[in-house]
Structure 1
């Protein structure tokens, strides 16, 4: 198994109150009073109080093309990703030259070469570091990245690795689009980054660590749901696909997926004391709670994350993971299941355990 050493987070600028964002963004989406009324109602129902944005609010009206928004993504996304990586590395007390693999994920901008190339030089990593960039996993990318890094470290148990997720969701808002999906997305998603340092079981640091271990993972695609969540990509950029049936798909399938993962290690849900759930939104929380028979307290940190920073796409579940570690959860000997959902519809699950005190 692999050991999770530290999680670092980064958020751009000071938080904006949700009401201020609603007022500023509304003028870019519609001039129809009925749709503006719907915008205010939908934003108020997201459970979001504040969000961090890559640009000042008055700059969004100047982004007249997909190319202009993507240029901002490359510049600001690289800067924010570097900040998250440095926070994780400082907390883990590892230097960039000690890292053997860099896993990166994003779904809110495109760069070729991918922005992890810039990170190698900025952070001072070795030029022969193994890079594993991904695009298209959406909100599930952070969980999938943890699983991918874990799998790599199983095969290279003396190595250390870094996962970085960066999402600038605000740059994807479609101007002049007053569809319900775009109105919801404009009130739900925020900007942020997160990074995780992990080491293999035979790494020199492994013997001294008492933090979380990654036990295993599971991926699942839900049939017949390809139109439920994702991007429609056009000349204006990334237009959100966000269907109302998404929570129903989660409620129908998630319980079986979790049980299948736990059964592989002779565990049941009763033995899981901590749930690290992507802050997808109120209806996603309701679906997860229904599927797993959870009550309010189990999703408290996810709801708090949604309220303070919004849904950060692939970075979201890693922010919730950091909050979980800050609360010293799970207890020694206890298990946690980390859950995120993405296009497909897909679910990514990671089983974590805190070892007994050594």
Structure 2
């Protein structure tokens, strides 16, 4: 239910009311990082020497102003040659670890913790493959406790940040008082194909490099990051996989290019929009809440058409998705961590009031929609 009256700055528990569901865990901090050079869409088209008016239109009508990217170096003629898969994997390793370390340290600073406090680290990426994984590399790079629990979620795509949050919230609930971290680090520059085709133009017009970390702790209601009154409690998750659109988003081997290549079906926005109501209704089922009771919506910045489809099908306002569109404008789609960039902006905005509910939503290959219900 939505509290419609003005509340004092520090309301009592009775004034806010009880949670409709048991609390799984609590978000206590967030941090983000980017790498590479900020570049506008027009500058990127010029850097890649794209003259095709159809391709240029895709870039310039994307609702993206700039992104952070690490492009291949230009030759003496100013041209940028496609990078072989081996070079892209090395780029992914370098960028993902560097951005991940910065985002993790920013997150720990936000919640007043140190590297020594981290007891569980779950790393998410879909823009490269490493063995050992990013979690092991970060433990070595930053000097985290060698006994720190860890997991790596690889290849799930843009929805994977919420899949990780689900798993880490469960670990946190089983280990009260101990600090757990979800870290999404996506070097999208390492998944670029510079071949000038319309297929790759859609991908190249959209994704940017970025990392985001979220800290959780259970059994500690006083902990929280700045801008959030105690940090939101994680209450519930709901998922939906649209198996009829299984191949609509995929990252697979392109034999002609001799490398992996990402594919986005033009129908994806409509697939996501058509199923958004189903997964949100499942999330709210049994809680006594309606969509109108949700004060804050943090939706994956999947692209202009995807955001529009979610807004229309859920009956949201442009204000509801202001941070989603703002992150898309300033960073592009940073894959699994996009919704955490939006959460960071909401936390900094300082408009959240105790007792308000929020829905987190991501979508990705499968085609999959993931959601979480939180309460401040």
Normalising by the residue count of structure 2, what TM-score does the alignment of the two structures yield? Answer: 0.87
Corresponding residue to 1:224 among 218, 231, 244: 244
Q: Determine if contact 2:126/2:186 at 8 Å carries over to the other structure.
A: yes
Match of 2:292 in 1: 270
Distance 1:56-1:238 versus aligned 2 partners, 3 A rule = closer
**Structure 1 unaligned runs (5+)?**
28-32
Task: Describe the SS at the equivalent of 1:215.
Answer: strand
* Deviation per residue, 1:276-318 (Å, 9 max, x gap): 0111111101110122111211111111110111010111111
Match of 2:234 in 1: 214
Q: Aligned partners of 1:185 and 1:54: how far apart in 2?
A: 15
Q: Determine if contact 1:22/1:187 at 8 Å carries over to the other structure.
A: no
Does 2:278 correspond to 1:256? yes
Match of 1:30 in 2: none
Q: Determine if contact 1:159/1:200 at 8 Å carries over to the other structure.
A: yes
Alpha-carbon shift at residue 212 of structure 1 (Å): 1.2
Distance 1:55-1:181 versus aligned 2 partners, 3 A rule = closer
More helix by share: 1
Alpha-carbon shift at residue 14 of structure 1 (Å): 4.3
Match of 1:198 in 2: 216
Corresponding residue to 1:291 among 283, 289, 313: 313
Q: Determine if contact 1:103/1:163 at 8 Å carries over to the other structure.
A: yes
Q: Determine if contact 2:125/2:153 at 8 Å carries over to the other structure.
A: yes
Q: Aligned partners of 2:61 and 2:41: how far apart in 1?
A: 11
Match of 1:104 in 2: 123
Alpha-carbon shift at residue 136 of structure 1 (Å): 1.7
Corresponding residue to 1:51 among 47, 67, 83: 67
Corresponding residue to 2:207 among 182, 186, 189: 189
Corresponding residue to 1:78 among 97, 103, 108: 97
Match of 2:41 in 1: 18
215-224 or 18-27: bigger deviation: 18-27
Task: Describe the SS at the equivalent of 1:350.
Answer: strand
Q: Aligned partners of 2:353 and 2:209: how far apart in 1?
A: 31
Alpha-carbon shift at residue 273 of structure 1 (Å): 0.7
* Deviation per residue, 1:14-56 (Å, 9 max, x gap): 42122111111245xxxxx5xx211111101110001111347
Match of 1:135 in 2: 154
Q: Aligned partners of 2:38 and 2:83: how far apart in 1?
A: 24
Q: Aligned partners of 2:351 and 2:173: how far apart in 1?
A: 24
Distance 1:171-1:7 versus aligned 2 partners, 3 A rule = same
Does 2:136 correspond to 1:120? no
Q: Determine if contact 1:4/1:196 at 8 Å carries over to the other structure.
A: yes
Give the ranges of 4+ consecutive aligned residues of structure 1 lying more than 4 Å apart after TM superposition. none
Q: Aligned partners of 1:148 and 1:57: how far apart in 2?
A: 39
Does 2:340 correspond to 1:318? yes
Q: Determine if contact 1:8/1:195 at 8 Å carries over to the other structure.
A: yes
Match of 1:147 in 2: 166
Alpha-carbon shift at residue 62 of structure 1 (Å): 5.0
Q: Aligned partners of 2:120 and 2:360: how far apart in 1?
A: 22
Q: Aligned partners of 2:173 and 2:293: how far apart in 1?
A: 25
Q: Determine if contact 1:330/1:336 at 8 Å carries over to the other structure.
A: no
Task: Describe the SS at the equivalent of 2:237.
Answer: strand
Alpha-carbon shift at residue 211 of structure 1 (Å): 1.3
Corresponding residue to 1:65 among 62, 76, 84: 84
Q: Aligned partners of 1:301 and 1:328: how far apart in 2?
A: 13
Q: Aligned partners of 2:30 and 2:259: how far apart in 1?
A: 31
Alpha-carbon shift at residue 57 of structure 1 (Å): 6.2
Q: Determine if contact 1:12/1:52 at 8 Å carries over to the other structure.
A: yes
